[in-house]
A and B are shown apart, each in its own frame.
Chain A
Amino acid sequence: MLGVIGVDTLDDLIGDIPAEHRHPSLNLASGLSEQELSGVFSAIAAENASSSNGYISFLGAGAYSHYIPSTVKSILQRGEFVTAYTPYQPEAAQGTLQVGFEFQTVICQLTGMEVANAGMYDGPTAFAEACLMAARVTKRTKIGVLSSADSRLPDTLLAYSKHQGIEIVSIEPGATDIPDDLACIGIQSPNFFGEIEDVERLTNLAHANGALSVVHVNPTALGLFRPPGDFDVDIVTAEGQPLGVPMAFGGPYVGLFACKKAHIRQMPGRIIGQTTDTKGRIGYALTLQTREQHIRRERATSNICTSTQLIGLMVTVYAATLGKRGMKDLANLCYQKAHYAAAEISRLAGFSVERTGTFFHEFVVTCPDSPAKINAALLEQKIIGGLDISDRSENGMLVCVTETSSRADIDRLVAALSEIGAVS
């Protein structure tokens, strides 16, 4: 091939690289065979504590353990989905595009919203982009975030907005009055502590002040609880991970993003639309692309390009598999187990459970000692306890229970807490 090109060596092709910097020395080792590589990875995996080596966990706070049906893993083996490019050539990507259209449908059905995009990076970035979108829609620069939200939401929003003249203010969940120049109220429901917020009241409060309401939901909870679409919410975001995506130490996940139809031209991210071909047959294509960076450059609604199409596929297959009956049954099962765990723990001497309202998945346990100490003792029994939230609630531990915790697992946690509580 070099002969066809008309050169003798590779170096003749890379003459533009300054000669003194060509072929630097590197510390990388020699390559491994596939079998050797498998050995390296088995050793890495074995150093982590997970259900596969006998641990049980009660962590949630934004990433949740759920059973992933075999259909999701099976479809994820299809190289035609896994190794396809972004569908800029729609004729060669009808599979990816129709799945994306199904994804948008699923997100609309779950949230009760009119339109959804094809996915953002993750939940917190979706929330940040939603708040920035509210600022564009209202032409206001002050964003309110409920104080009961996961700090990851305002933290990510801060990183996304710090040079755009945006001010972030904290709003109390019980507020009856808000600044009259807010672009939106950002609400997490269920909130960081697992409690359902009064989305309807807060949305009305926002609207009375010319602001939008942005609601960050847990998609599993939407199998049971009224969706934001019932309450005239303007933008809905969520972490899509609970819908069939492995926890994988934090990613990749998918951010869900839905809104009212009136605002679609301010929406960030890719959107897939239905249309027809020259023979009148139905087909799908990326649409409203003039919002996006590859067309609009510095005036785009977001810089997002590569996003999370494959994770969207997992969510879509998951939703299709659970279906109407399964989403409801699953949400109910999670509810039953979390409430059982809360009731059992609340009976233990020294422990109390805050139960001020209705909660889903998660609840705050006030411990007789620092949660760090209690978690260390739990870990000796191969139990990964709830998240230490003593920075937000004195001796508080955020305990999460989903359908992957059996009654035996819950009882094991309760017995361990009882034992640890007795000596502390």
Chain B
Amino acid sequence: MTISTIAAGAGDIDRRLLMDRSVPGRVAFTVSDSDVPFQKLPDASYLRDDVELPEVSQLEVIRYFSVLSQLNFSIDTNFYPLGSCTMKYNPKINDELANLPGLADIHPLQPDETVQGAIRLLKNLQDDLGDITGLPGVSLAPLAGAQGEYAGLLIARAYHDARNDSERVVAIVPDSAHGTNPASAAMAGLEVATVRSDDQGNVDVENLRELADGRTAVFMLTIPSTLGLFEPNILEINKIVHDAGGLVYADGANLNALLGLVKLGDLGVDICHSNLHKTFSTPHGGGGPGSGPVMVTDELAKYLPKPIAEKTDDGYVLSTPAESIGSINGFHGSFSIAARAYAYIKALGLEGLQSVSENAIIGANYIQAKLRDKYDLAADRYCMHETVLSASRQKKRGVAGLDIAKRLLDFGIHAPTMYFPMIVEEALMVEPTESESKETLDHFIAVMRQIDDEIDSAPELVHDAPHDLPVTRLDEAKAARKPILRWSADE
């Protein structure tokens, strides 16, 4: 008889999938017995064999997912200087409030009179977002930033079509824009014309002047830009676009930098969206859910996607704007994310919101000031809420931005956004957010300086990073070449 030896050591994590843990007959949950007289099932030709789902105990379910959770970085456990993503701390009370009975368990098609609290919440949030952005027409329907963008573009098209100005089929997009901007434009049937950035990271005004013409439907501007810069020529830019008959759409992905400091509507912006899950306190969830309300001028409000919450003499109602672009999803948008955003705004109030943006801006500039001797800057000027570093000097010494990003993981710090914006060589985009203490920023700065030293003293530490995570670098080419996308009995 042979006895196999079990190796000791907590380092070996059991990564077996649920189906490989399945034991016939084991259950985690019991469905109630029927309390109604037996009803005959349909003909067997309609019915399936059992669904091949796991057979595991309740403890196994809890332990499996709890152990998996520990393989993650998260805001609750790690610093995430992840540019353009606004990975800030979101107060836990907001999650609790969004899940209250009376909010989490109401059906989207309940009559308005039975959901007065819910519609009042939506109306108040619409008003607050309209106030913050200076664009009073608000729809909370879009389910994420990209949907908010798309809704904004449909509104621009509806506006031009209503004026019989249907030759306007071009969206002008800066070369620094997020990929969702051109992708949304394409979905809206618009041709994309790319406007260059100048050597200061601003929109090249002369290039824009050449591009803006009678075919321009909309100019899509991210404010602050993906370089973390506020566009200094914004008033002139907006005038150029308006003079050409186009509309100005502001991508509000970076709205965390502007709360109470400036209103987009005051600058001549016609349409914007905001990612509630970034600026207004919904945790990122490992990639959603999100919410991307769209805000517009009074003139454009009649085109907003439905529904809109309104206050009437008979109470609060959900309504459809007169010339609405229609339904961009199933119901009313991400209600429980709207609830979190409303809670966040109520808790902070005006002064609290202003200090969010102020502290986000100060934190990013502090990091920039403390790292600029070691790392190049994409633009040599004060930034807003994020700073874009370039690892071009490090690249010449044999280490890529990717390696630096991976090495940060060994220190328990999430990587910055890499290789974006695409116009910056070896970009490392750093957004500390207002949540983090000076001590955390100082620690990050010290680690970034140490990694720069390691490039000369111990380059393999950087090249082969990460060393201390559940996995080392993964073969992503293999994953794409021979896709394994699900458990199967034979693999």
Contacts and interface: CB of A to CB of B under 8 A. Distances in A.
B182 to A, nearest CB: 4
A227 B50 CA distance: 11
B286 A93 contact: yes
A330 B31 contact: yes
A116 B103 CA distance: 31
Chain A: interface size category: 35 or more
A313 B286 contact: yes
A279 interface: yes
A26 interface: yes
A275 B480 CA distance: 9
A59 B108 CA distance: 9
A169 interface: no
A159 to B, nearest CB: 5
A94 B470 contact: yes
A57 B107 contact: yes
Nearest to A264: B483
Interface string B141-152: 001111101100
Interface string A94-112: 1110111110111011100
Given A62-B331, A84-B73, A252 B291 contact: yes
B484 A273 contact: yes
Contacts of A44: 102-103, 117-118, 120-121
Contacts of A125: 143, 147, 328-330
Interface string B306-322: 00000000000000000
Nearest to B289: A252
B446 interface: no
A38 B97 contact: yes
Contact of A13 (B28, B70, B365): B365
B236 to A, nearest CB: 10
Given A65-B107, A91-B406, A276-B475, A155 B72 contact: no
A81 interface: yes
A302 B414 CA distance: 27
A17 B476 contact: no
A403 B73 CA distance: 38
A79 to B, nearest CB: 3
Nearest to B48: A226
Contacts of A78: 65-66, 69
Interface stretch (B208-216, B332-340, B388-396): B332-340
A393 interface: no
Interface in B436-491: 438, 464, 466, 469-476, 478-480, 483-487
Contact of B486 (A104, A246, A302, A311): A104
B265 to A, nearest CB: 9
A423 interface: no
B180 A164 contact: no
A175 interface: no
A271 interface: yes
Nearest to B76: A79
Contacts of A53: 102
Interface stretch (B2-10, B11-19, B242-250): B11-19
Contacts of A33: 347
A179 interface: no
B189 A86 contact: no
Contacts of A253: 289, 330
Interface string A42-70: 11111111111101010101110100010
B425 interface: no
B441 to A, nearest CB: 8
B35 A98 contact: no
Contacts of A105: 17-19, 486-487
A419 interface: no
B263 A14 contact: no
A356 interface: no
A80 to B, nearest CB: 4
Nearest to A270: B287
B308 to A, nearest CB: 14
B267 to A, nearest CB: 6
Contacts, number: 649
Contacts of B403: none
Contact of A320 (B28, B105, B260, B384): B28
B39 A339 contact: yes
A21 interface: yes
A407 interface: yes
A392 interface: no
A121 B143 contact: yes
Contact of B108 (A92, A118, A249, A305): A249
B62 A71 contact: yes
A207 interface: no
Contacts of B277: 306
A324 B54 CA distance: 6
Contacts of A325: 27, 50, 55
Contacts of A311: 285, 288-289
B370 interface: yes
A166 B365 CA distance: 48
A251 B331 contact: yes
A87 interface: yes
B289 to A, nearest CB: 3
A28 B129 CA distance: 10
B52 interface: yes
B54 A47 contact: no
A386 to B, nearest CB: 10
Contacts of B473: 91, 277-278
Given A273-B480, A300-B179, A83 B76 contact: yes
B164 interface: no
A303 B29 contact: no
B356 to A, nearest CB: 11
A335 interface: yes
B284 A84 contact: yes
A263 to B, nearest CB: 12
Contacts of A178: none
Interface stretch (A4-12, A139-147, A345-353, A362-370): A4-12
A78 to B, nearest CB: 4
A295 to B, nearest CB: 7
B99 interface: yes
19 contacts: A4-B369, A46-B117, A52-B102, A52-B105, A57-B107, A61-B109, A83-B285, A85-B85, A85-B414, A92-B466, A99-B286, A100-B286, A252-B290, A270-B287, A275-B478, A287-B480, A309-B288, A321-B61, A403-B31
Closest 3 CB pairs of A and B: A163-B189, A250-B331, A47-B117
Given A5-B369, A379-B111, 20 more contacts: A24-B262, A28-B131, A28-B353, A52-B102, A61-B109, A71-B58, A83-B76, A84-B75, A85-B414, A105-B17, A159-B328, A246-B104, A249-B107, A249-B115, A251-B332, A306-B289, A322-B28, A337-B36, A343-B39, A379-B114
